[in-house]
């Protein structure tokens, strides 16, 4: 199946050349890059969130495989919907779905259902693709949309992703009893050939100072690699972070894969573009290594 671009010309430029220029304008030449297990990246229109997305993508040594987890804004499809085959389209071309990795993830949780309805009109993953296509043209993806964001669901999805990546790395030639330190390092390197992208904006339609205070509460838990704490502070403080479920799942997966630290690359809000600071949407770019 070819999943057609749903928000080209709305959330980002609609022609190949204009989109290339738009993406280039948000990237940071010469930024220090590091291998990473996961990132948090925003998904608003690039005019608003592109500087944060560009900063976080510029800071990572990007692999050839991406697992994209996003919130289901449309309400269509299953509780947790995956596409295990096909291609996704943007003006920059098409991106293949990694069938073997998608199948491995789906097979590790009964909650993850093969369902393309959740993906057809949803923007949260599509907006990640121009950066991935520009920087890694041969990359493949596994798209996952989350409608069910109960804590137990988020953690199970994260564990399924972590187990699938770990076993995929072991299947790349690192196996056997009595592994040496060199083999362990090789396995860790293979694991970092997959990047888990949690797609989320932060607080919605709050005054800028209130949004920042709330968002920093959530960001602190992400930086502490604390998925349960992130979930709890979202609920307790009524933080309107739309992709908290994907973020919790991403953190749980990264912890299973041996994550040791996280860094906030950039925080911004829509008022910095619109000059309306009374009702902003917050954006955070975070790298987990």
* Domains of the chain: total: 1
Tally Cβ neighbours within 10 Å of residue 212: 18
Q: What is the CATH number of the domain that holds 169?
A: 3.40.830.10
Check: CB of residue 231 under 8 Å from CB of residue 248.
yes
CA-to-CA separations, 141 to 69, 90, 101, 137, 264, in angstroms, rounded:
10, 14, 9, 12, 24
Check: CB of residue 234 under 8 Å from CB of residue 186.
no
For the chain, the residue count is 289
Look up the domain containing 107 and give its range. 2-288
pLDDT digits (tens, 9 = 90+) for 134-167: 999 999 999 999 999 999 999 999 999 999 999 8
Check: CB of residue 96 under 8 Å from CB of residue 85.
no
pLDDT digits (tens, 9 = 90+) for 54-101: 999 999 999 999 999 999 999 999 999 999 999 999 999 999 999 999
pLDDT digits (tens, 9 = 90+) for 163-214: 999 987 665 444 455 555 554 455 555 676 999 999 999 999 999 999 999 9
User: Structure pTM?
Assistant: 0.93
Check: CB of residue 50 under 8 Å from CB of residue 22.
yes
3-state SS, residue 270? coil
Beta-bridge partner residues of 81: 113, 145
C-alpha 27/C-alpha 20 separation (Å) is 11
Beta-bridge partner residues of 268: 283
């Amino acid at each position: 199946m070819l999943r057609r671009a749903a928000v080209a010309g709305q959330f980002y430029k609609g022609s190949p050349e204009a989109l290339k220029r738009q993406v280039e304008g948000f990237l940071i030449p010469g930024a220090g890059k590091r291998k990473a297990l996961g990132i948090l990246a925003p998904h608003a229109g690039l005019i608003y969130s592109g500087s944060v997305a560009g900063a976080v993508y510029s800071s990572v040594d990007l692999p050839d495989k991406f697992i994209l987890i996003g919130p289901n804004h449309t309400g269509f499809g299953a509780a947790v919907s995956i596409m295990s085959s096909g291609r996704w389209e943007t003006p920059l071309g098409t991106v293949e779905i990694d069938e073997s990795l998608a199948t491995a993830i789906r097979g590790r949780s009964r909650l993850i259902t093969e369902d393309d309805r959740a993906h057809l009109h949803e923007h949260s993953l599509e907006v990640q693709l121009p950066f991935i296509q520009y920087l890694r043209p041969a990359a493949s993806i596994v798209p996952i949309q989350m409608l069910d964001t109960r804590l137990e669901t988020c953690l199970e999805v994260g564990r399924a992703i972590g187990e699938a990546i770990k076993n995929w790395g072991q299947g790349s030639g690192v196996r056997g009893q009595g592994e040496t330190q060199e083999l362990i390092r090789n396995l860790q390197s293979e694991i970092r050939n997959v990047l888990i992208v949690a797609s989320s904006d932060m607080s919605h339609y709050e005054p800028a100072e209130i949004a920042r205070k709330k968002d920093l509460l959530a960001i602190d838990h992400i930086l502490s690699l604390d998925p349960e704490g992130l979930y709890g502070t979202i609920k307790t403080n009524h933080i309107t972070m739309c992709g908290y479920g994907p973020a919790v799942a991403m953190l749980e997966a990264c912890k299973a894969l041996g994550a040791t630290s996280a860094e906030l690359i950039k925080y911004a809000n829509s008022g910095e573009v619109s000059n309306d600071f009374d009702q902003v949407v917050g954006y955070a770019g975070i790298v987990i290594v």
